[in-house]
C-alpha cells in the first residue's frame, strides 16, 4: 500500500484528493495536515466523508509529523508552501506532488516570470529542486513523471488548453501565431477562502473576464506548446468566471495551414491520443457540456473546422477540481509508483 499524506487537506484540492484516494485500492491515507481546523475530523468539515475518512487534521507544527512513515505527500496548498516545505519530505525519501506553481518550471528564471504574474517574490526558495521537478501532465510527460520524486501538478486552465490543442501544434497543422484560448471556469477554481467577488449575490446570473493578458497559467501553456513545436509560441488567453460551481470549457481557435482539412485534424487527434485513457474524442459538431465531465478525470475534446474562415475551433472540457487538480495529481502518483494509471480514477462522474 502507498502511504499518503495531504498538506492543505481542508481546502477543495485536499478534499478532492481524499475523495479519490479513499476509493483507491492501493493507497492508505495516513495523515491530513492543515494550518486551519486543527484537531477537527475531516468529516466534520465535509460530512459527505463521514465513515469514509474520519482522520483528524494535524497542525504543520505537530511533533507527530516527524514520526509519520509516508511514501508520498500531496501539497494541496497555495504558491509558496511547497517550495518551503518539500525539501524536508524529500530528505526522508517521500515523493512530492505539488498543486501550486512552485514546481511547474525547471529554472529560477522561468519561475520568476510566473511569480511576477501572481504578485509573489520572484526568488524561489528551493531553486536547486527545480532542476529535477517534472511538469505533471501525464499525456505529455509520462516517462519523466515515472522516474521523478517531485512533480508540479499543472494549472487547471493549462490542462484544458494544452490537451485541447497539443495534437495540432505537434503535427504543424495550424499557424501557431494565431492561437487564441478562451476559457470559462466555475467559481470553485478560486478555492475555499471567502472572497467578495465570489459571494453568491456577486456571482449569481453574472459572468466576467478577468486577468486579461496577465493570467499566470499562460506561462506553462506557452512553454509546453513551444516544446511540442520546437519554436517559441505566444498565445492569446482570456479566462472567464461563469456562475456555476465546477468545470472548465475552453474554446481554442487557430488558423489552419493551407491544404489541411478536417480529416487531417481528426487523424492528428486520434493518433496523438490513441493510448490515452482519460482523453475522450468526439465528432465535430458534438455539443460538449461541463456536466459531462463533472466529478471525473476525463478531458472531452471536440475538434472542428470552419471552412469558411479557415479557422480550427476546438472545444476542450474538464472538471477543474479533478482532471484540473486532484484527479490529475493521483494520476501522477500512480505513474510515480508504477501502479495502473487508472486506479482510483475510472469513476465516470455524476450527471446531471
Are residues 127 and 168 located together in one domain of the fold? no
Are residues 202 and 332 located together in one domain of the fold? no
Are residues 7 and 19 located together in one domain of the fold? yes
Long-range contacts of 200-204 (CB under 8 A, 24+ apart): 203/241, 203/243, 204/243
- For residue range 118-167, what is the model confidence (pLDDT) as tens digits? 889 999 999 999 999 999 999 999 999 999 999 999 999 999 999 999 99
- For residue range 65-111, what is the model confidence (pLDDT) as tens digits? 999 999 999 999 999 999 999 999 999 999 999 999 999 999 999 99
On whether residue 345 sits in a domain, the answer given is no
CB 291 within 8 A of CB 352: yes
User: What total number of domains does the chain contain?
Assistant: 2
Q: What is the pLDDT confidence band of residue 199, given thresholds at 50, 70 and 90?
A: confident
> Does residue 194 register a pLDDT over 80?
no
By DSSP bridging, strand 2-7 and strand 72-75 are: parallel
Among 8-17, 197-206, 219-228, 274-283, the minimum mean pLDDT is found in 197-206
Residue reference for cell 465516470: 348
Mean pLDDT to the nearest integer, 299-303: 98
Are residues 313 and 168 located together in one domain of the fold? yes
Options 156, 161, 299, 302, the catalytic residue: 156
Are residues 313 and 332 located together in one domain of the fold? no
CATH at 299: 3.30.360.10
Are residues 171 and 306 located together in one domain of the fold? yes
On whether residue 216 sits in a domain, the answer given is yes
Enumerate the β-bridge partners of residue 151: 97, 134
Are residues 328 and 298 located together in one domain of the fold? no
Are residues 254 and 141 located together in one domain of the fold? no
Domain that holds residue 239: 157-319
Are residues 185 and 129 located together in one domain of the fold? no
Does the active-site annotation cover 156? yes
On whether residue 352 sits in a domain, the answer given is no
CATH at 31: 3.40.50.720
- For residue range 203-238, what is the model confidence (pLDDT) as tens digits? 899 999 999 999 999 999 999 999 999 899 999 999
On whether residue 217 sits in a domain, the answer given is yes
Amino acid at each position: 500500500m502507498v502511504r499518503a499524506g495531504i498538506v492543505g487537506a481542508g481546502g477543495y484540492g485536499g478534499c478532492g484528493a481524499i475523495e479519490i484516494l479513499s476509493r483507491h485500492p492501493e493507497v492508505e491515507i495516513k495523515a491530513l495536515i492543515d494550518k486551519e481546523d486543527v484537531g477537527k475530523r475531516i468529516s466534520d468539515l465535509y460530512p459527505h466523508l463521514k465513515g469514509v475518512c474520519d482522520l483528524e487534521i494535524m497542525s504543520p507544527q505537530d511533533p507527530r509529523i516527524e514520526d509519520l512513515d509516508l511514501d508520498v505527500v500531496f501539497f494541496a496548498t497555495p504558491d509558496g508552501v511547497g517550495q518551503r516545505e518539500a525539501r524536508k519530505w524529500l530528505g526522508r525519501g517521500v515523493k512530492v506532488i505539488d498543486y501550486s506553481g512552485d514546481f511547474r518550471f525547471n529554472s529560477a528564471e522561468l519561475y520568476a516570470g510566473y511569480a511576477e504574474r501572481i504578485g509573489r517574490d520572484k526568488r524561489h526558495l528551493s531553486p536547486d529542486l527545480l532542476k529535477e521537478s517534472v511538469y505533471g501532465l501525464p499525456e505529455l510527460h509520462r516517462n519523466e513523471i515515472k522516474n521523478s520524486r517531485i512533480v508540479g501538478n499543472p494549472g487547471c486552465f493549462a490542462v484544458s488548453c494544452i490537451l485541447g490543442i497539443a495534437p495540432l501544434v505537434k503535427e504543424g497543422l495550424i499557424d501557431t501565431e494565431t492561437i487564441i484560448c478562451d476559457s470559462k471556469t466555475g467559481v470553485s477554481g478560486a478555492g475555499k477562502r471567502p472572497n467578495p467577488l465570489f459571494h453568491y449575490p456577486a456571482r449569481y446570473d453574472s459572468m466576467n473576464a478577468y486577468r486579461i493578458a496577465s493570467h499566470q497559467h499562460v506561462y506553462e501553456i506557452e512553454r509546453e506548446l513551444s516544446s511540442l513545436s520546437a519554436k517559441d509560441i505566444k498565445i492569446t488567453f482570456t479566462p472567464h468566471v461563469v456562475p456555476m460551481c465546477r468545470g472548465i470549457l475552453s474554446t481554442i481557435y487557430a488558423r489552419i495551414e493551407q491544404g489541411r482539412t478536417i480529416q487531417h485534424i481528426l487523424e492528428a487527434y486520434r493518433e496523438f491520443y490513441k493510448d490515452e485513457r482519460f482523453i475522450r474524442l468526439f465528432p465535430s459538431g458534438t455539443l460538449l457540456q461541463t456536466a459531462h465531465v463533472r466529478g471525473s478525470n476525463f478531458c472531452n475534446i471536440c475538434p472542428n473546422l470552419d471552412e469558411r474562415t479557415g479557422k480550427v475551433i476546438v472545444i476542450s472540457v474538464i472538471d477543474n477540481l479533478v482532471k484540473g487538480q486532484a484527479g490529475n495529481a493521483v494520476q501522477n502518483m500512480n505513474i510515480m509508483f508504477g501502479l495502473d494509471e487508472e486506479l482510483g480514477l475510472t469513476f465516470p462522474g455524476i450527471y446531471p
